[in-house]
Amino acid sequence: MSASLPIRRALISVSDKTGLLDFARFLADRGVDILSTGGSAKAMRDAGLTVTEVADHTGFPEMLDGRVKTLHPKIHGGLLGIRGNAVHEAAMAEHEIAPIDLLVVNLYPFEATVARGADFETCVENIDIGGPALIRGAAKNHDGVTVLVDVEDYAAVMAEMEAHNGATTLELRRRLAATAYARTGAYDAAISRWFAGQVGETFPRRVVVAGELRQGLRYGENPHQQAAFYAGGAARPGIATARQVQGKELSYNNLNDTDAAFELAAEFDRPAVAIIKHANPCGVSVGDDLVSAYRAALACDPVSAFGGIVAVNRRLDGATAAEIAHLFTEVVIAPDADDDAVAAFAAKKNLRLLLTGAMPDPAATGFTLRTVAGGQLFQTRDNGRIALSDLKVVTKRTPTEHELADLLFAFRVCKHVKSNAIVYAKDGATVGIGAGQMSRVDSSRIAAWKSREAAEAAGLSEPATVGSVVASDAFFPFADGLLAAAAAGATAVIQPGGSVRDAEVIAAADEAGLAMVFTGMRHFRH
């Protein structure tokens, strides 16, 4: 088979008609015979193009409400017959099967139908059968057939036909075949994932992960690693929905950290700011407005905040943006921004401003995925949330109302800190964070040490941990971590409980005059 394949006959059947008429005119101007069905045929015919209905080509009518129209030997034979193969060509001649050189198909909009909340029957009816069969057949026979499944590839085919006297090259056909199989694979993945949910299977026997390339990245976590960003799965406001208003290209680490920041900011109903560095928060606060929340978040660890990510859960205003602009910041992400905020960042050419259009729901269900050697670890999202009514007071002293508010705030932040995690908080703001240590007591000490450093840098007489509360993402296995928090000035503690030494830890809290509550819920984050 020659690497150059002239296109003389095309079959076009598309749900997404973007660019269809321009492409069809291009083919018609080069003498290509066009076969088509239903709405595609009508659209082209209404535009003055000559189109042969598939039913006229096969001599077999569409039937079963259009479910059967292209499932016919004259169609599949025209796609699958091997050009230059004497046996195939003889069979095609005997049965009057004309070769089809170009297939243009995009599938019934199943994913969009599910996304808009359609009922079960409507979703099932939008499962395409003939389309995937055509695509797979054409892609298999790519030596003799050009297959198009994405409107973005129309231009490439037209350019090749212009350059090669109406033909396409084998190199392009192979690339398009790979794209075609990826599309049918992603389509079937969406259907299987939806069907599993419909029958109540959280973890079905087989699971398929699919995504659409959103951005090629310069490199991964390190310059010697290749990377790309794919969007897929459930529609969730965040980096996959964001519009980049300004700034240079986002990196792998930017995307990872920005996602962590935005998910944390989404946890709170009040105006909230989260400042993230290396996927861990270095400052989080809620306030009456964003600008006061930002100042309090920054005060927790202004050194680490340099070159960090800032996420807010409200429309970004000019005053807050102006405050953020004082410090070198890699990315700012918000659901929206006013004109003053955009203007405040205009001089910061490297700062990326991302607007998502909405906030994600922290209580929504979903999955997280991590690869391991030879497989993947799936789990449901940590959408657990603790309310005041869930708390169990285990010490002689009951927390005050103010302490309770800070305890709930600190525990919510703790959910987004790498384990072992310790978070000190006061007045709705973090004042010390210890993350990712092998020992919980070390996290307590590091958080207190960082608070002392921040106090000295700010010229304060004492660290903000004095009079604070402290949260632990998991139980204290020994009293040492709790005593380290007491030594730092914490007055109340929130932790899951559940240790075999709970009684020992409670006794230590009582002796230190601490109030302590158990949540019964752990928030490990590895």
- Kindly list the catalytic residues: 140, 278
Contact in structure between 495 and 516 (CB atoms under 8 Å): yes
Token pair listed for 428: 């709705």
In 3-state terms the chain splits into helix, strand, coil percentages (rounded to 5) of 40, 20, 40
Q: How far apart are CA 188 and CA 180, in angstroms?
A: 12
Query: Which of 436, 427, 382, 370 is closest to 400 using CA atoms?
Result: 427
The Cα–Cα gap between 21 and 13 comes to 12
Place of tokens 């964003």: 290
Alpha-carbon distance values, 190 to 114, 119, 321, 322, 452 (Å): 9, 16, 39, 43, 51
The residues, any chain, with a CB within 8 Å of residue 400's CB and separated by 6 or more, are 492, 515
Could you tell me if 100 and 75 are in contact, meaning their C-beta atoms sit under 8 angstroms apart? yes
Q: What is the C-alpha to C-alpha distance for residues 478 and 496, in angstroms, rounded to an integer?
A: 14
- What is the CA angle 215-221-225, rounded to 5? 80
The answer to whether the beta carbons of residues 281 and 275 sit under 8 Å apart is yes
Tokens encoding 432: 């010390």
Dist. CA 120–CA 295, nearest whole Å: 49
d(CA 146, CA 168): 7
